[in-house]
Structure formats: structure tokens, C-alpha cells
Structure 1
Amino acid sequence: MYPYQPTPEELESMETWFAEYDALAERGALEELADRAVFPMNLATDVPGGYAAVRQWTRAEYIEAMQHAIGTGTAGLDLESTRTPRFVSENLVVVETEATMTIEGRRQHMHYADLLVRTEDGWAFQTMVQGGWGHGWPAARRG
């Protein structure tokens, strides 16, 4: 029946998954973060000049981008997040996040969404929707 109504256990599974994800991010455990994704990963973002940009990241590209964004655990990363999961079905969840990331005393507020998919191994993220990742992309990669 649609719209799909998640069970309390499904909602709890989302909370647990993201608590584990945040702990890995705070430690800078980039390989382990990548283990929680399905590649190629879709990315929808924007680029300077006011246009949207979409592309797919390989595992290596994701790790490189995260290394620049959050480091490898030495930058004193602190995450505070409020997430709203919207279950499309029991296997597909769009999660909207309001977050504050603090690195070495600098605070940055973010608003983004992720698509999580249920795999044989459990939840994994497959699509990121967040502004600001397209800086430095060549024009050919913008669309």
C-alpha cells in the first residue's frame, strides 16, 4: 500500500545506520564510509554560475572528495545532524538532513539529501544531493 509506512523497526534501522555512519565520519574512516555505499554513486550538485550538475562517482573519487571535505580523522570533526527519512518503499529511503559540521572550530551548516537502498548486506547510500561539490569540475563534467 502506498504511501509506504515504515515500521518502528525500519525507522530504528535508519537511526542506527546513520549513527554508525556519523561515528565513522568523525573518525575519518573513509574506506569504511565507502563500504557503506553502492558504486557508481550518483551525485547531484551545483557548479559556479548557477547550474545544476550531475555525475557518477567511483569509489576512488568518493574517497578523494571526502578526504578533502572531512580529512582522515585528524581535523577534529564534529557532526550534529537532524535527519528525516522518507520511505518510498521498504527498500528505498530518501533521507533529508540538516547538519552542522565543525572542523577545527569552523562551523558549516548544510542541507542535503541521500538515497539509501536496501542491499543483501543492509542499507547503503547510492545517491547524494548536495550543493557545492561541483567546484572545479571541467565544463564537460557538469551535465
Structure 2
Amino acid sequence: MMRRIALCLTSLALASPVWAQGQPQSQSPSKSQQQQQQPSSPASGGSGAPMDLSKMGPWTRKPTNEARTRKEVEAFIKEEDAIMKRRDFEASLARIDFPMFMATDNSQGMPTSESYDRQRYTQIMKPFFDQTPTDMQVNHNLDITVLSDSLVTYTDNYTMTTKGEKRAGRNAGLLVKREGQWKWKAFIEPGWGDPSPTGVGGSGVPQGQDTPKQ
């Protein structure tokens, strides 16, 4: 989308002088006509100067070391698995750049999405986090796209094994780097839009089960 915006701005910048040259020269327009006929400048700063596309846009933020960034992202996701296994919700929260965007769908194919602040995210996600199987093993098959040194998207075709059962799934996400640390910014995974069939108590544990010891 930003590429299309940049192309449109470039076209406007190039077309404006041509448009002006095509105006009749035999009669000097009045001041009001000049104001009405004056073409709008492309996106500009306070000075009214055209945007300098040599100083902004994706071509100015090319990755400097994609291999290193990929390794950092792989390590980040692996560490998240360890955090989930030990049910350290506060550690997980510290790795999120709020607001956090999340999207899923339900068994009827109805998509839902929402942007979560810290409080809302905690309210929704902590009960799930507290039920993370301690024997969970996850194998990731990551397809990482390094947009810049601070923006990364990925898709993950993973397998998860718990209680002897293996399940395969796919998700996607956006990571951002702030002050040298990678953080979650968006997470998309299908299949979580239906109400949970199991009653959950205030501890976040299915009814009838004891709260796990930390």
C-alpha cells in the first residue's frame, strides 16, 4: 500500500508542472481564480515543499543483516515457548509492545480481531496461559520476512505435542524492535473464536482441577 502511495505522490509531483504549463496564457487570472486553480501540493511539510522520497519509504530502511535478524527472531520465539511452559505471564507481558493486535476465527469461519491494551490482554489471555501444558513440546517451521532492522513478519507451520498427542497448526505475526529488544505487536492464529466448552474458575484453571504449583 505504501508503495502505491509513493507512486501516486511521484505522479502528482511530475504532473503539476505540466498541468500549469497547459493553462491559457492570454488572460491573467484574478487572485481568486489563482487560488481556485492552484493545484494541491503533494504531501509536504510545513514549508509546502514536495515530499523528498529519497529520505523516506522502504528503500531507506533496507535490512543491514538479515541473517542476524532471523537468528534473533528464532531465539525470541523459542524463548516464548520456555516462558509459556513455566507459565511466567509477567515475563510474557514484558515482551509485548502494547497495544497488541490479535485476530482469529471460529468454527463457522467468522473472523474476529481486536487491539488489546495491557489490562484487556491480561484479562483475556491469563486464563489460557495458566493452563499451558507443562509437558508441551513445540517444533517451529518459520518463514521470516525481514522488512527492516526493526520490523519483521513471519508465518509458522508448527507442531505441538502434549500428553502424547501431536497437533499441527499455522500462525502469523508481526514483531517490532524497541530499544534493542524484539516485542510482539500482532498475532494471528485461526480457531480460537468459539466459546470454551470447559468452565473456567477465577484461577484460570478448568473447574475440578487444582491450581498448578509454580
> Could you say whether these structures have the same fold, taking a TM-score greater than 0.5 normalized by the shorter chain as the test?
yes
My pick for the range that moved more, 33-42 or 55-64, is 55-64
The 8 Å contact of residues 70 and 77 in structure 1, kept in 2 or not, is answered as: no
Flag the structure with higher strand content.
Answer: 1
Gaps of 5+ in 1: 138-143
Q: Does 1:65 align with 2:155?
A: no
d(CA) in 2 for partners of 1:25, 1:6 = 31
CA deviations over 1:83-129 (Å, ceiling 9, x no partner) = 12101222111011111112222222110001001112510011011
- With normalisation by structure 1, the TM-score equals 0.78
1:110 to 169, 177, 183: 169
Give 1:75 shift.
Answer: 3.6
Structure 1 residues 78 and 60: CA distance shift in structure 2, 3 A: farther
Structure 1 residues 76 and 66: CA distance shift in structure 2, 3 A: farther
Higher relative contact order at CA 8 Å, sep ≥6: structure 1 or structure 2?
A: 1
d(CA) in 2 for partners of 1:29, 1:18 = 15
d(CA) in 2 for partners of 1:40, 1:135 = 23
In terms of Rg, which structure is larger? 2
Gaps of 5+ in 2: 1-58, 197-214
Give 1:40 shift.
Answer: 2.2
Structure 1 residues 101 and 28: CA distance shift in structure 2, 3 A: farther
My pick for the range that moved more, 4-13 or 87-96, is 4-13
The 8 Å contact of residues 99 and 116 in structure 2, kept in 1 or not, is answered as: yes
CA RMSD of aligned residues (A): 2.6
My pick for the range that moved more, 24-33 or 85-94, is 24-33
d(CA) in 1 for partners of 2:101, 2:143 = 20
Q: Does 1:13 align with 2:72?
A: yes
Q: What does residue 202 of structure 2 align with?
A: none
Structure 1 residues 75 and 15: CA distance shift in structure 2, 3 A: closer
State the number of aligned residues.
Answer: 136
Q: Does 1:122 align with 2:168?
A: no
My pick for the range that moved more, 98-107 or 52-61, is 52-61
Structure 1 residues 121 and 21: CA distance shift in structure 2, 3 A: same
The 8 Å contact of residues 6 and 87 in structure 1, kept in 2 or not, is answered as: no
